Amino acid sequence: MSRTIIVSNRLPTKVLRTEESLTFQPSEGGLATGLGSIYRQQGNVWVGWPGLFVEDASEEEYVREQLRDDSMVPVFLTEPEIRDFYEGFSNSTLWPTFHYFSQYATYEQSHWEAYVAVNEKFCQAVLALAGPEDTIWVHDYQLLLLPAMLRQARPEATIGFFLHIPFPSYELIRVLPWRKELLEGMLGADLLGFHTFGYMRHFLSAVSQLLGFSSQNGQIETGARTVLVDAFPMGIDYERYVQAAASAAAVQHEAVYREALREVRVILSIDRLDYSKGIAQRLRAFELLIQRYPEWREQVSLIMVVVPSRDQVAQYAALKEEIDELVGRINAQYRTIGWTPIHYFYRSFPLEELASLYRLAEVALVTPMRDGMNLVAKEFVASKADGHGVLILSERAGAARELSDALIINPTDTGQLAEAMHDALVMPEDEQQLRMGAMQALVSQYNVFAWAKLFMDRLAYTKIKQHTLATEMLTPAVLQQLRVHYQDAQQRLLLLDYDGTLAPFNTNPQRAQPDQELRLLLQALADIPQNRVVIISGRDRHTLEAWLGHLPIDFIAEHGVWLRPAGEEWQLFQTLNNEWMRDIRPILELYVARTAGSFIEDKEYSLVWHYRRADAELGAMRARDLLNHLTFMTSNSDLQVMEGNKVIEIKTAGINKGSAAARWLATYQPGFTLAIGDDRTDEDTFRAMPPEAYTVKVGSTPRSLARFSVASTTDVRKLLRSLL
């Protein structure tokens, strides 16, 4: 049985040492709940640090056993490892660099060495667990080297990686002394996920500039393997926040706060202490609001929750001081006996109290300088059951790509931020409802479970594709074997594409008519009574008829629209049926949701996805993606996927080379089948073939569903001649 192994720096449970014993506390984090549904399934596990320095082997064993019952495997880290690997390289080198705070980054060789060693430690822990069939999903910036380490030990493993923080521009990555090693580490995965298209674009650019691997449609060819890169915006456990906000405890807390605040309206800000979160800028903007609009004094307060984090690191301590000083100064300057401008809490709250703050607030201020996604923004949206409330969101949070109905601001523009607060406070109710409703629809649908499923499905798909796309050269040994099978068979089917397969391309397509050699070759093959020779082409039937119609061979023309068995009349291949739309429409809807500006056109016998109005680069990428997705989805059906000008059309009636070829297979039930082709439409033929068929791709690109490949049309003719 195959299992899923989740690996992250921290386990979703925190082990705490109290005076008497050890306690095990579940983590509240979004990742823990989102992946909870996966790691608790039979056999699955989560590997990570339990957050505790163990004292001896017996304590280690105790923790290990306790966690085992809840599907977790601990990796024990020492204090020096946490200092150098975690606080050092992870949080003082990678975190500032990836959040565009290079000026805070340190570059310590000893931290790097600890980072390598701890990634290696995680690698050993995973290898001790993982079987060859297992799927390994690695998380976040603390484990960038792990995918390649795992790959080296297990070349066939299925490995996914997701980065929770931004991936910055190449200009920042290039500053790191270990930049190549870090990228190579990530490329050990089969699938690399980022929150946004922007991050993914930065990653592809860094890989291209630093490692020289180009990419197409998010696929990187490393030489050894294809690595797929894609955007998966992470969601929250929506229902959990809806319920927490509706809970009796939350309602009660809100009532207590409300009573204390009387009529004062609330703007809310919640973050971990971090320079990336823009906390000080937010305070200055609030001050500007009450300077510019004195009418809000005594009417509005800012409730600011800052959750202690990393305060051992110098910049964090300095930031804490700055915040303390700002809050103190602003409050001292503006407060009145009945009104406190800023209610500042430097601690964390239980979930229900957090939910009561979400309920209480009319405006949420989520204004990070940089943030991978920012889940607080989504949690606020989920908590506003009545549809009231305004979200002010930084354009530099990943969430801004999805939550376009928020008031989107530039967090360094203090004036704009103050104006946005004012606008939010005066926003009419119906506009609030409209914006909030749209965001709720999105956040509830693309929740954390959908996110995890999308990632896992994509990983499985990537892996299947890697396997199906392995093509080997048609060697003399294979040819020998092919001829033996050919000789032994009573019925033989030869499916031959025309352009690029039997005849070389000509700049003028009408000049590519068959030469004498080809006509004789086809004639000789067709004269053998056991052989059924079929020309299977995208060309129109009139051309094929004119060029080869005199031969005793079959024709499949216009990619399967028209058929003509030897000696018969042309006939249409057509079954007009729309049932497939039920399955295909949801896929298109998914792409509409993932590609702002795109839409679906419903036609009588086809569905069309239009992306002319989408961001050009994203549209082109999603189109590739959708094509791949649809090609895969429709492999065993009779659908045709066509790419047009900024459109992708899926047609009914199962008209493609594959379905036509399948009809020939069913009719003649050959003991030997040879299918040769050179382009994408021939992949349909290859796909329709039984596994024992000889499928041959012509051309130098090795990626094909065909089992074998040859270099040119000359080789094809040689192959066919050898059958005579």
Binding site for ligand GDG (CB under 6 A): 28, 30, 164-165, 234, 270, 272, 305, 307, 348-351, 354, 371-376, 379
First-to-final CA distance of the chain: 48
Q: Which is nearer to ligand GDG, 88 or 166 (CB)?
A: 166
To ligand GDG, the closest distance from the beta carbon of 350 in angstroms equals 6
Three-state secondary-structure class, residue 491:
coil
To ligand GDG, the closest distance from the beta carbon of 9 in angstroms equals 12
Q: Which is nearer to ligand GDG, 141 or 486 (CB)?
A: 141
Q: Which is nearer to ligand GDG, 274 or 625 (CB)?
A: 274
Contact criterion met (CB below 8 Å) for 348 and 375 = no
The number of CA neighbours under 13 Å toward the Cβ of 215 is 23
Burial of 352 (0-12, 13-18, 19+ CB in 10 A): middle
Contact criterion met (CB below 8 Å) for 194 and 159 = no
Classify strands 531-536 and 492-496 as parallel, antiparallel or unpaired: parallel
Q: Which is nearer to ligand GDG, 270 or 639 (CB)?
A: 270
C-alpha–C-alpha distance, residues 647 and 627, integer Å: 11
To ligand GDG, the closest distance from the beta carbon of 194 in angstroms equals 10
Q: Which is nearer to ligand GDG, 200 or 584 (CB)?
A: 200
Q: Which is nearer to ligand GDG, 358 or 486 (CB)?
A: 358
Q: Which is nearer to ligand GDG, 232 or 672 (CB)?
A: 232
Q: Which residues contact 354 (CB under 8 A, 6 or more apart)?
A: 244, 270, 305, 379
To ligand GDG, the closest distance from the beta carbon of 7 in angstroms equals 15
Catalytic residue among 497, 499, 625, 678: 497
Contact criterion met (CB below 8 Å) for 156 and 135 = no
C-alpha–C-alpha distance, residues 171 and 185, integer Å: 19
To ligand GDG, the closest distance from the beta carbon of 410 in angstroms equals 18
Q: Which is nearer to ligand GDG, 144 or 518 (CB)?
A: 144
To ligand GDG, the closest distance from the beta carbon of 51 in angstroms equals 15
- The angle formed by the CA atoms of residues 177, 181 and 186, to the nearest 5 degrees, is 130
Contact criterion met (CB below 8 Å) for 607 and 588 = yes
C-alpha–C-alpha distance, residues 470 and 705, integer Å: 7
| Phi and psi, residue 649, nearest 5° | -115, 135
How many CB atoms within 10 Å of residue 103?
7
Beta pairing partners, 647: 610, 644
To ligand GDG, the closest distance from the beta carbon of 371 in angstroms equals 4
C-alpha–C-alpha distance, residues 554 and 242, integer Å: 64
C-alpha–C-alpha distance, residues 79 and 495, integer Å: 67
Contact criterion met (CB below 8 Å) for 409 and 425 = no
348, 385, 651 from 241: Cα distances, Å: 17, 10, 42
- DSSP letter at 682? H
To ligand GDG, the closest distance from the beta carbon of 335 in angstroms equals 24
| Phi and psi, residue 716, nearest 5° | -65, -45
- Reference 192, options 182, 153, 3; nearest CA is 182
Q: Which is nearer to ligand GDG, 54 or 165 (CB)?
A: 165
| DSSP codes, 554-606 | EEEEGGGTEEE-TTS--EE------TTHHHHHHHHHHHHHHSTT-EEEE-SSE
To ligand GDG, the closest distance from the beta carbon of 448 in angstroms equals 9
- Reference 227, options 237, 217, 239; nearest CA is 217
| Phi and psi, residue 230, nearest 5° | -155, 165
C-alpha–C-alpha distance, residues 155 and 667, integer Å: 42
Beta pairing partners, 307: 272
To ligand GDG, the closest distance from the beta carbon of 74 in angstroms equals 22
Amino acid letter, residue 636: N
Angle between the N-to-C axes of helices 109-129 and 146-153, in degrees from 0 to 180, rounded to the nearest 10: 50
- DSSP letter at 297? T
**Phi/psi-derived region of residue 188, left when phi > 0, alpha when psi is between -120 and 50, beta in every other case:** alpha
Contact criterion met (CB below 8 Å) for 429 and 387 = no
- Is 497 an active-site residue? yes
| Phi and psi, residue 414, nearest 5° | -60, -40
Q: Which is nearer to ligand GDG, 350 or 552 (CB)?
A: 350
To ligand GDG, the closest distance from the beta carbon of 95 in angstroms equals 9
To ligand GDG, the closest distance from the beta carbon of 196 in angstroms equals 10
The catalytic residue positions are: 497
